[in-house]
Amino acid sequence: MTGGTIHNNESGYNAGAIFGNGANITISGGEIYSNNSRYDGTAIFAYCSNLYLYGGSIHDNYTENSYHGAVYFTYDDQASEFVIGGSVKVYDNYTDYYQ
């Protein structure tokens, strides 16, 4: 993703905006906001994937039943990489798991 927006999406399970399974996900611009998921990774759910966040913003996303908010990154025996750098902004994402 190099620009544009992903917003106002809703998932009954994981990943309100982006779901990756064995994927290469690179975000260098754009905006991911106001997405909702019932469980993990309300903006991005990355399983056994490479996730690179270099720019753009991820904000105001909400998850209902998990303590994993905006970005959920997990892996098994596969080599996976999660890199945050550049000017990416991740803020004001929340969960009600502990409320």
What tokens were used for 15? 């990943």
pLDDT of 99 over the 60 cut: no
Check if the beta carbon of residue 37 is closer than 8 Å to that of residue 11: yes
Tokens 């991740």 found at? 90
pLDDT mean over 38-62: 87
- Report residue 33's pLDDT band, with 50, 70 and 90 as the boundaries: very high
Phi, psi dihedrals of residue 48, rounded to the nearest 5°? 50, 45
Annotated domain spans of the chain: 5-94
Over residues 43-49, the mean pLDDT reads 86
Average pLDDT, the chain: 85
The residue-averaged pLDDT of 33-54 equals: 86
Q: What is the pLDDT of residue 86?
A: 92
